[in-house]
Amino acid sequence: MTQISADTKALCEQLQTIWREQIPLSKAMQMQITDFDGDVLTTQASLEPNVNVHGTAFAGSLYAIQALTGWGMMHLQLKLNALDASIVIASGQIKYAKPVAEDIAVRCSFGEHLAELEKLKVTGKGRFPLTCGVLLADGSRAGEFSGIYAVRLNR
């Protein structure tokens, strides 16, 4: 992990444990957090266990890592705001722009959702649109996942 502050390192380790122990696919994909600065979460998965018959990343793996990265971002934001809640993906859409022939790197930004977090505290539920992108080593995007994460406070 790089650039992760001491305050968020434990949260990232807890998230990594949740993925590994409760979402077996993430372990099989060799998914891990590589960076989290409080607003942007970056994850990675090795290409080898996610390869298709063409030698590039399997479309299902690209969908899964992006959907899980968005879920992870939502989880981390709730923890940073001391909120105990359940998260589900209400909907998700993906665009595949280029084949991925290298380890899969995904970036998700939380962005301007602070008002929605405040509403969640009052109403007990919320919907958060998050976008995740697959980034190639040359800096270009290989695809994008847009998901709506439904959150309900555990009261």
Class (C level, CATH) for 6-153: alpha beta
In percent, the amount of the chain with pLDDT more than 90 equals 91
Domain locations in the chain?
A: 6-153
Structure confidence by residue, pLDDT tens digits, 19-73: 999 999 999 999 999 999 999 999 999 999 999 999 999 999 999 999 999 999 9
Structure confidence by residue, pLDDT tens digits, 84-129: 999 999 999 999 999 999 999 999 999 888 889 999 999 999 999 9
Do residues 143 and 98 lie in contact, with contact meaning Cβ atoms separated by under 8 Å?
Answer: yes
Between CA 143 and CA 106 the distance in angstroms is: 9
Do residues 107 and 42 lie in contact, with contact meaning Cβ atoms separated by under 8 Å?
Answer: yes
Tokens 């793996």 label which residue? Answer: 61
Torsion, Cα 61 67 68 72, to 10 degrees, reads 160
Non-local CB neighbours of 83 within 8 Å, separated by 6+ positions: 117, 120, 121, 153
Structure confidence by residue, pLDDT tens digits, 119-129: 999 999 999 99
Q: In the predicted model, is pLDDT for residue 1 greater than 50? A: no
